[in-house]
């Protein structure tokens, strides 16, 4: 089978290689002439035979929309466009309607696997009509991991990217849980080798996962994660997952908290927490800090109290002393 592939960056370039390794012909276009097989979209389309299949692998938003619009003017009835980027599922409905007016099929495909996909295969979640998915099946088979799993026809147009969106939301929550566990283990002196604790979890535990493997690899590369600032971007799909939960009245507290944690990570100081500190000072006379207390503000607050003499603990009258305010 032959396919046109638009976008030959980190993901698209590796996907071209994996498809070719499976014996298919790929004609790739990219604005970077050093990696492109052809000089233009027009040239790429002209080299394909009908029914032509074109996979779009460019950044979500305007770049994807502009590329699909251009392909709509170049392709013919019976051809197929696959959006394999990280588009929002609502954009899939728009593009499907846009192309269907010209008799051009549309399939959305969520892709997971990152830079490891060339070697391990890509998890694929497709949305679209049966006949359109079937037309691209040889390409899905080439890209997915070996074995029974790794590709799914999730449903109608939009289902692929919606599934990938939820996948990424779950990813946010999982990463946040591992990160919080790492910070807590690092906080206590009695755990002397946190990296080895995490490494031991890779086999036989209920929380073993590829993300855990990657965290261990990161800790091996940079012990204590030194030199890495605690600043985390979000690609958009975590936000979309939270918004979809609100729209459908589905509570997503873990995913939402993980998203908000990334927002907080981008602040050198939190205006909201400044306001909280100011209010605590106003109503209770609690101390205001111009810098973080050494060792953290909970240091020593949860130590086991020493056993007090009975008379001191109960007071002269034998009644418990009132708690200090």
Q: For the segment 209-245, what is each residue's pLDDT rounded down to a tens digit?
A: 999 999 999 999 999 999 988 989 888 899 999 999 9
Same domain, 45 and 145: yes
Same domain, 178 and 230: yes
User: pLDDT tens digits, residue range 146-160?
Assistant: 999 999 999 999 999
> What integer best gives the mean pLDDT of the chain?
90
User: How far is the CA of 302 from the CAs of 59, 299, 325, in angstroms?
Assistant: 49, 8, 17
Is residue 247 among the annotated active site residues?
no
Same domain, 110 and 13: yes
Flag whether pLDDT at 30 surpasses 60.
Answer: yes
Q: pTM, whole model, 2 decimals?
A: 0.85
| pLDDT value for 297 | 52
Q: How large is the average pLDDT for residues 166-181? A: 96
User: How far is the CA of 129 from the CAs of 3, 134, 240, 279, in angstroms?
Assistant: 19, 9, 24, 57
Considering Cα of 56, then 12, then 27, then 139, what sign does the dihedral take? negative
Residues counted in the chain: 325
Flag whether pLDDT at 302 surpasses 70.
Answer: no
Q: How large is the average pLDDT for residues 76-103? A: 98
Lowest mean pLDDT among 40-49, 78-87, 232-241: 232-241
Catalytic residue among 171, 186, 243, 301: 171
Q: Which two tokens stand for residue 198?
A: 């995490």
User: pLDDT tens digits, residue range 183-212?
Assistant: 999 999 999 999 999 999 999 999 999 999
Residue 279 lies in a domain: no
* Final residue belonging to a domain, choices 266, 287, 312: 266
| pLDDT value for 301 | 41
* Final residue belonging to a domain, choices 215, 238, 266: 266
Whole domain around residue 116: which residue ranges? 2-157
Same domain, 82 and 180: no
Q: How large is the average pLDDT for residues 174-188? A: 95
Is residue 164 among the annotated active site residues?
yes
Same domain, 23 and 98: yes
Total structural domains within the chain: 2
**Angle between helices 159-187 and 89-100 in degrees, nearest 10:** 160
Q: How large is the average pLDDT for residues 124-146? A: 98
Catalytic residue among 91, 144, 164, 237: 164
């Amino acid at each position: 089978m032959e396919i046109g592939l638009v976008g030959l960056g980190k993901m698209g370039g590796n996907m071209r290689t994996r498809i070719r390794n499976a014996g298919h012909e790929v004609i790739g276009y990219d604005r970077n002439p050093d990696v492109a097989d052809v000089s233009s979209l027009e040239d790429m389309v002209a080299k394909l035979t009908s029914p032509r299949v074109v996979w779009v692998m460019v950044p979500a938003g305007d770049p994807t929309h502009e590329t699909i619009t251009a392909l709509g003017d170049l392709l013919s009835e019976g051809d197929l466009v696959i959006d394999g980027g990280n588009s929002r599922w609502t954009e899939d409905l728009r593009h499907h309607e846009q192309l269907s007016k010209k008799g051009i099929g549309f399939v959305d495909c969520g892709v997971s696997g990152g830079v490891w996909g060339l070697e391990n295969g890509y998890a694929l979640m497709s949305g679209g009509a049966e006949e359109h998915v079937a037309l691209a099946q040889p390409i899905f088979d080439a890209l997915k991991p070996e074995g029974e799993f790794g590709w799914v026809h999730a449903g109608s147009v939009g289902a692929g990217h919606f599934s990938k969106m939820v996948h990424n939301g779950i990813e946010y929550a999982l990463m946040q849980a591992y990160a919080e566990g790492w910070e807590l283990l690092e906080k206590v002196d009695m755990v002397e080798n946190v990296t080895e604790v995490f490494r031991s979890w890779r086999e036989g535990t209920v929380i073993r996962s590829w993300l855990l493997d990657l965290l261990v690899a990161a800790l091996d590369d940079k012990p204590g994660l030194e030199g890495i600032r605690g600043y985390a971007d979000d690609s958009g799909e975590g936000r979309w997952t939270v918004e979809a939960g609100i729209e459908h009245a589905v509570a997503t507290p873990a995913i939402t908290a993980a998203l908000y944690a990334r927002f907080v990570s981008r602040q050198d100081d939190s205006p909201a927490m400044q306001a909280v500190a100011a209010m605590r000072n106003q109503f209770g006379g609690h101390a205001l800090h111009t810098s973080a207390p050494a060792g953290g503000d909970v240091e020593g607050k949860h130590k086991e109290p020493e056993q007090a003499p009975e008379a001191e603990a109960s007071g002269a009258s034998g009644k418990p002393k009132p708690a200090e305010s």
